[in-house]
Amino acid sequence: MRPNRLFAAIISIVMIAATAEPVLRKPWEDSFPLSPYAMFAYKRPTKLTMDYAFGVTATGERRTLTPRIVGSAEVLQALTVIQRARAKNELPDLCAKIASRVADLDRYADVTEIRIVSGTHDAVDYLVRHIKGPETVRTTCRVTR
């Protein structure tokens, strides 16, 4: 495009106004690509309850699974995959999918079982002092090879 000054001015004003428009919304009304960028603005306690999956070996050792195995390489999207499966009572199906992906990967050759749990942890205790909070098992499934 080779706009004249008037058209260039209109494009400039419209694009800047559109980028700034989310300031008129509630900060939690997110969209794309126009966002209020409130992702780090929320007040949060350090205690968190969330659902997650992990592998268990034959000797009972715990193995962390990468988010891609759950359904997305992005960690937060993997989290929503689990949350939605739980909301729709589809955790056993998700567990089976995870188990089948794990079965195909050599680095998880020692994993014999998948558990999806709800855990409540204090983030600082967990990360700094290695203190785990309580966990409730939501579903389990075997890894068959």
The verdict on 118 binding another protein (CB under 8 A) reads no
- Hey, what amino acid is at 144? T
One residue of 56, 81, 95, 113 binding another protein per CB under 8 A = 81
Q: How big is the CA angle at 65 (ends 84 and 125), to the nearest 5 degrees?
A: 85
Contact residues for 12 (Cβ-Cβ < 8 A; gap 6+)? none
Neighbours of 126 (CB within 10 A): 16
Burial of 125 (0-12, 13-18, 19+ CB in 10 A): middle
Smallest distance from another protein to CB 87, Å: 9
Binding mask 11-50 for another protein (x = CB under 8 A): xx--xx--xx-xx---x--xxxxxxxxxxxxxxxxx-x-x
136 part of the interface to another protein, by CB under 8 A: no
Binder to another protein among 74, 109, 110, 134 (CB under 8 A)?
Answer: 74
Site string for another protein, 51-70 (x = CB under 8 A): -x-x---------xxxx-xx
Please state the length of the chain.
145
121 binds another protein per the rule CB under 8 A: yes
Phi and psi, residue 126, nearest 5°: -65, -45
The answer to whether residue 1 forms part of the interface with another protein (CB under 8 A) is yes
- If one asks whether residue 140 binds another protein (CB under 8 A), the answer comes out as no
H helical segments located in the chain: 5-20, 67-70, 75-87, 91-103, 123-128
Smaller CB distance to another protein: residue 45 or 60? 45
| Residue 107 makes contact with another protein by CB under 8 A | no
Does residue 109 belong to the site contacting another protein (CB under 8 A)? no
